[in-house]
Amino acid sequence: MALAAALTLGSCKATGGGYVGEQLDSGVIGVYTGDANFGFNFTCEVETAKNRTVIKGQITYHDEPSKVTLADTTVPIQFPEVRIHGTVNPIIFLGVTECGTAVENLFGGEPLPVGTPPEFEGIPTAMFEGTYRSQDSTVGSALPPGEFVVLVGDQGEPARPGGEFTGDLFSIDLYGGPYAAYTRGGYLEGGNIQVED
């Protein structure tokens, strides 16, 4: 997976923090049952004095260990704690002083790639990816870092306005590293996400 970042719908900033509880009904079997806490910031910053635009960001994420009895089994399985810090490798566009142009240049003027977040009928969304490292001292640096992909959706203020959806959205997928194949997503049960132009 190439390291890249995508701000969709012309967004220049996505920030948020809070927690998700119950998993979204996505067809993926969720094995983590507690709350998963997160905080992130993702920005496209114009540095006029340097005649450039920089896309960068970071995330912290924590999911408590869970003990789950899967279908057709009788013995509970322990799933480990997931604790990460991730960074979006800065992407610098020299001679570009507008975020929309920077995002367009990121994809060479082509349509946004497969996997770009859907436009939820006017709901601002952002997707970003980068490299993560475990913050669990028992894992340490023994394993190489992995990659993350985060998708967020902002449904207004406060984070649970009602309507067709029931609040701001957050999802995370981890590839490689100590938590390979981990995935979790849901509506925020506390906190807020803001995606701004």
**pLDDT tens digits for range 121-143:** 567 888 888 999 999 877 766 78
Under 8 Å between Cβ of 61 and 36: yes
Distances (CA, A) of 113 to 32, 87, 126: 30, 21, 13
Closest by alpha carbon to 188, among 6, 5, 40? 40
Q: Provide the residue ranges of all domains of the chain, joining segments of one domain with +.
A: 5-196
pTM over 0.75: yes
Query: What integer pLDDT is reported at residue 107 of this predicted model?
Result: 54
Give residue for tokens 């507690």.
Answer: 34
| Cα gap 19→40, rounded to integer Å | 12
Instruction: Convert the pLDDT of each residue in 1-12 to its tens digit.
Output: 333 444 443 457
Task: Examine the pLDDT at 111 and tell me if it is beyond 90.
Answer: no
Strands (DSSP E) contained in the chain are 5-7, 13-20, 36-47, 52-63, 66-68, 77-79, 82-94, 125-134, 146-153, 169-175, 183-196
Pairing type for strands 146-153 and 125-134 reads antiparallel
| Cα gap 167→99, rounded to integer Å | 27
| Cα gap 189→15, rounded to integer Å | 16
